[in-house]
Structure 1
């Protein structure tokens, strides 16, 4: 039951990361204020790293802090997981006479839509499409985030995350699939655009003879910005239709490339989704 341990570990990490407050908006220039100027005068070590501070406590950071983590709310629709070939495997297995090997699965095309809620912080809407062969494949996705402003303005902050990956499946059977992914990712923030390498891994496995699959995925962008995107949940396969639900945690940091101050955000909350595989 290796996939159960993997799912448990992913969920535990997601909860731990989501429980910590994060700082002023990723990729957004510092907006000076009176309190910020005073804090800046009091600093004598010359460092410009913006660290998270719990709500209700004073901060020595040069930028006003803002809570960017929440675990409340409802999701809308899904996408971020690659629609597994599990339903195809089940059908193929059922059609093969006893004693014969199930046919190798044909390439599968997946189209998905996912909605994420980050409580009163905001939410995200994701789209992606993927192609799965027996071993090789590809996927491309876009995630649009709409967030409450952190500087008291009336306009909402919007972030767009894009990535494109080639995928390799070292394990692909009628019971599920494990993928290793590599490609390129970009983050479009209010005051900057970051482009860097992206690595990911995903797992999906059948839960016995039921129509449910367990799914988990993690994506990491190490530089120039830092991005960690994790989610885990269950998928219900109804023929070509896939219904999904689970939990997502997203961490973003600009590494201080924008104005010498590290701006980071952490978002967490449930997601719901809808997909088609054919």
Structure 2
């Protein structure tokens, strides 16, 4: 079932809601530069296991509205809160991939984890996506600047080239085209704006506020969110569980989908 929820600034956020009668609710937040369809291989399995699977398209991506402004972590986290309130979600597990993980962490800090009972971070772009003077992990700012330049000059080529960086395992042409078409649906300016947020924003304070059981899944071959970030998150979140995925890059939701689904089921139940 798909429908729209109105967020701040009259922005309509697309929501996919599968198995609303499920015993356990999962709210999925996708990463850059895609939309909720990245979680197809979780939605194919988890509803049959008794889960209600809810996923959103972030503003600027997928079927959601594409306003010119509103791509800060604060605003994106507020959009998540709008969905949580509209659907009256309580005692749910928040699942974020990449920048979706960063937004999930900002939600935990900015909204006090409202309604969240457990947190799952899939290759989360946190606590800082880029290297800083006091934080030597992640991509360099120059790396992100090159992605921004490529997006602004030839976004289709950037998206085609992204496959080699995103996935560790070889992907066939049909899957590559599927992934390309998902990413192409975003607005060019929103694709750039989220990259700017990834480059400029940090989440150290938000991470420190997390008090719910947390599962961290990380591909060891990830070239986008460097594996050291997962180690830092694990150290920073008391009682968190870190699972390394030895055959995955950034696309762990597909590259080791069976393992990811198994870990989600075991953690939530």
Task: Give TM-score, length-normalised by structure 1.
Answer: 0.24
Query: Which is greater in Rg?
Result: 1
Higher helix share: 2
**Which structure has more strand as a fraction of its residues?**
1
Flag the structure with more relative contact order, 1 or 2, with Cα contacts below 8 A and sequence separation at least 6: 1
